[in-house]
Amino acid sequence: MLLVVDVGNSHTVLGLYDGRELRGHWRVVTANYRTGDELQILLMMLLQSIELHPRQITGCCVSSVVPQLNPALQQVARHAFKVEALMVEPGVKTGIMLQVDNPREVGADRIVNAVGALEDHAGPLIIIDFGTATTFDALTAKAEWIGGIIVPGIQLSADALFEHCAKLPRVDIVVPRTVIGRDTVTNIRAGLTYGYADMTDGLIRRMRAEMGGKAKAIATGGLARTIAGVSKEIEVVDPLLTLKGLRAVFEKNAGPAA
């Protein structure tokens, strides 16, 4: 079985594939200070929750935007599963051509999302990932990653309001019934949801125009369904896009996990 791990700034998403079947997946808080021992204990508990033994893991693929955690993750793969983790980094085969000024700047998660999107969809594609930062990626019909957009994520914006505006409360990000809020909480929720949806739609339209007008918009990330529910331009929501991409990257480099 193949363990795939996507380490983001706020959350780490893990998945376990048996061939192309996703046997289990989990989302945990990313803690930059975790040691290899702590990560190993966490992984053992997750495997135990679906009654799997570490010996059943025959491959591991990792994308990470938190470099300080990479050595600990590699240690866990070696000690707990007796495998070398395939890290998504320059030199790894992905099938994606990075047609940008500095390919080494492109985050591993964005490349993996592009690989995952091409598993089910033909380009051109616009891929939106609602994470700590919200990213928009442009992928051509020839699997060329030609650039994108980065904006502060929805939760990050909500936290900034709470931390820098003394009278504003921290709120859950849910869609209110109306755009015009009747109290402070619904004011904030409307701005975060309808505001981000309209920003997302506007940026998708601008990207489509530069890409020839036909790119399909695919959303992923923790708040993808929330924003897609009020967006007019998002066509597909795939919350497991990154895990799917990690499985595909592993197969391109090491073949299917036994």
What CA–CA distance (Å, rounded) separates 14 from 4? Answer: 6
Classify residue 62 as left (phi > 0), alpha (psi -120 to 50) or beta: beta
What CA–CA distance (Å, rounded) separates 151 from 16? Answer: 30
Give the pair of three-digit tokens for residue 87.
């890290």
Q: Which residue has the tokens 């866990």?
A: 76
Q: Identify the active-site residue in 6, 37, 109, 137.
A: 109
Residue 109 is a catalytic residue: yes
Which residues does 87 contact at the CB level (< 8 Å), separation at least 6? Answer: 62, 63, 64, 70, 74, 108
Catalytic residues: 109
